[in-house]
Structure 1
Amino acid sequence: MRVGINSKALKQFNGDGLVSLRTALVDVVELSLAEVDFLELGDKIVEHALRVKDIYKIDYTIHAPYQDSEVKYLRVDFGRRDPAVLEIMDEVFNIAHEIEADTVVIHAGDMHNGKSFENAVNNIRDVAKIASDYGIKLAVENIYTNEIGIKRLAELPEEMLRLIEEVAMDNVGVNLDVGHAYISAMLHNRSLLEWFELLKDYIIHMHVHNNFGINGIPWDKHLPLDFGRINYIKLEKYINADNVILEVKRGSGRSIINSLEFLKCKKSALIC
């Protein structure tokens, strides 16, 4: 298991970053391409990522753009059939290949109509074939129905299981986002453990962070592990994947380091 953190939380990648790699001491950084114009800035992104990789001796995974990404013309929604998606994802895989990232996280997309699930299956299968040429694995992330009621594909564990089994590609697995699953569990009166139990054979990647469920806006706060309603001490035996990424957007540096120490089982303010 490699323990990592998202690039947006790092000072080496973001001027407003929360912590430095000098103190985070992670194995892997998840480089997000969801907030940048990587078609325009791809060479600079690769150059900087390789420089950081050389200095800090880290590996990379990549988070691909998705349906709500900041750069609108690079948004990827697998719930629609759009030939441009393949071109966008091919560039994602090219960047991943150049920085030696072996896993790319994707979202399944939105539920637009009765064909959206079938579209997602076909799109992900097509993209997985391209990824396979690069030797890259895809990790499909679970997303919650949001605050204004937009339904996400493969939100519930049985829906994700069906999606992965219908895609039926050896290089496609699940990115279990624990914070998102907790929100979905509250929305649909389900147990959080269902996501771990139903998807256990396919989980290759995890995003871990905390929140207060559907209490307060936004729901998806991406807090450190020791601040929120998810009890990670009780979940400890389930937190295991090829990559476990602390995906935080706010919180103190100390709390973030505590969360990483918990995940690495070194020491923590939490009980490891």
Structure 2
Amino acid sequence: MGSAKIGCKIDEVRVDGSLRALARDLRTFSVMGLDAVEIPPHGLDVIKCGRLDPRRSREVRRILEDFDFTYTLHAPNPLNLMDRTQCELHVEVLRATLEFAECLGASPVVVHCGRYVPEEGFGHVSSAPPSEADCRAMRDQERYWLDKLAGEFPAITIGVENARPYCYYSPYAYGESLRALKAQVEAVGRPNVGITLDIGHAHMSAGHHGWNFLEEVADVAERVRHVHIHDNFGGSVAPTEKQQTHQIPFGRGDNHMPVGWGGIPMKAVLSLLMPAYTGILMMELRSRYFDYIEESKWNLECLLEGLAEPRGGSVPMVFAGA
């Protein structure tokens, strides 16, 4: 079913700036036989106030060079090229991320799609949604900076990631819609700007907005340059709902569970992407599932090869509620 590599992210909260923790988790990933690892510069204190820390970058690079992984990067989560108050700082954070990727020879770099209202502002900014004119201006702003930075770093692919929905606040980001994200990427018009398809986020958005999940994925497949794969049941939550232990019993939340544990029709999704997609299937699991990364890898391999049914807590359903 294709020749995609399988990888896993380094969890930024789990390592929390510790290079010992980074090396420890990389050793574990090596024993598991993973092909690729996604590195969070924000989890390693590589970027400070919009600037790359050269000494810290060298320290991280020395550790990474001890392993035979393909490396990708995930830009800091709050980065928002549509920010209207500190746009220059957000641009500098992304530029520093791209400089770090260049230092490591890492690609793609994952960037969250722009948000009209950032998650950090939920409940603290005006509850009135921005006007359509404001939304257009913010998308224009994001396109401008994506175009400029992609031109500065032509050897690095920038993968703009689709967003998860939130009860009471959606649509807070145009990228809740894969088709809108595709339109934005195509408007940038750079060969090194594409989509990071977060399968879990797309599953939640389809349920929340009443879209056809598989049709959405099929429509953007040709623009996908990177994939985040993890499982959930599709139910959306309010931003104040943080505890996974309270969400999972009700099939709600952005669970980031091991592949095969939720309700996403993974085989159908992969069949839409493969074999044309030959990039990395990056497992993006919450740190609470660290002990099940190898099982998630096995389940994914089985789906790719069609050898067996997934193990674990798989439930044959797709949450259809909003």
Cα distance change on mapping 1:39 and 1:210 into 2, 3 Å: same
Q: Does 1:194 align with 2:194?
A: no
Q: How does 1:83-122 map to 2 (within 5 A)?
A: 83-112=88-117, 113=130, 114=132, 115-122=134-141
- Looking at structure 2, the residues matched to 189 and 182 of structure 1 have their Cα atoms a distance apart, in angstroms, of 10
Q: Does 1:144 align with 2:137?
A: no
Instruction: Give the C-alpha shift of residue 195 in structure 1.
Output: 2.5
- Looking at structure 2, the residues matched to 233 and 17 of structure 1 have their Cα atoms a distance apart, in angstroms, of 28
Counterpart contact for 2:11–2:286, Cα < 8 Å = yes
Give the structure 2 partner of residue 72 of structure 1: none
Q: Does 1:4 align with 2:4?
A: no
Q: Identity over the aligned pairs, expressed in percent?
A: 22
Counterpart contact for 1:209–1:222, Cα < 8 Å = yes
Q: Does 1:210 align with 2:231?
A: yes
- Looking at structure 2, the residues matched to 133 and 32 of structure 1 have their Cα atoms a distance apart, in angstroms, of 21
- Looking at structure 2, the residues matched to 103 and 13 of structure 1 have their Cα atoms a distance apart, in angstroms, of 23
- Deviation string 1:222-247 (CA, Å, 9 cap, x unpaired) is 00012111132333313443221000
Instruction: Give the C-alpha shift of residue 84 in structure 1.
Output: 2.0
Letter in 2 for 1:160: L
- Looking at structure 2, the residues matched to 118 and 101 of structure 1 have their Cα atoms a distance apart, in angstroms, of 31
Deviates more, 1:152-161 or 1:254-263: 254-263
Give the structure 2 partner of residue 21 of structure 1: 29
- Looking at structure 2, the residues matched to 250 and 56 of structure 1 have their Cα atoms a distance apart, in angstroms, of 21
Give the structure 2 partner of residue 73 of structure 1: none
TM-score, length of structure 1 as denominator length = 0.83
- Deviation string 1:165-187 (CA, Å, 9 cap, x unpaired) is 22222211001100001110110
Deviates more, 1:153-162 or 1:111-120: 111-120
Counterpart contact for 1:5–1:245, Cα < 8 Å = yes
Instruction: Give the C-alpha shift of residue 149 in structure 1.
Output: 1.8
Q: How many residues align?
A: 263
Q: Does 1:248 align with 2:285?
A: yes
Of 80, 83, 94, the residue aligned with 2:83 is: 80
- Looking at structure 1, the residues matched to 221 and 184 of structure 2 have their Cα atoms a distance apart, in angstroms, of 14
The unaligned stretches of length 5 or more in structure 2 are 118-129, 237-245, 312-322
Q: Does 1:65 align with 2:76?
A: yes
Cα distance change on mapping 1:185 and 1:269 into 2, 3 Å: same
Instruction: Give the C-alpha shift of residue 127 in structure 1.
Output: 3.4
Q: Does 1:166 align with 2:187?
A: yes
Instruction: Give the C-alpha shift of residue 65 in structure 1.
Output: 1.6
The unaligned stretches of length 5 or more in structure 1 are 68-75
- Deviation string 1:52-109 (CA, Å, 9 cap, x unpaired) is 4322211211111233xxxxxxxx2122241222222111111111111121111122
CA RMSD of aligned residues (A): 3.0
- Deviation string 1:160-217 (CA, Å, 9 cap, x unpaired) is 1221122222211001100001110110112211222110120111100001221763
Query: SS of 1:201's equivalent?
Result: helix
Give the structure 2 partner of residue 219 of structure 1: 253
Higher-Rg member (1/2): 2
Q: How does 1:251-266 map to 2 (within 5 A)?
A: 252=289, 255-264=292-301, 265=304
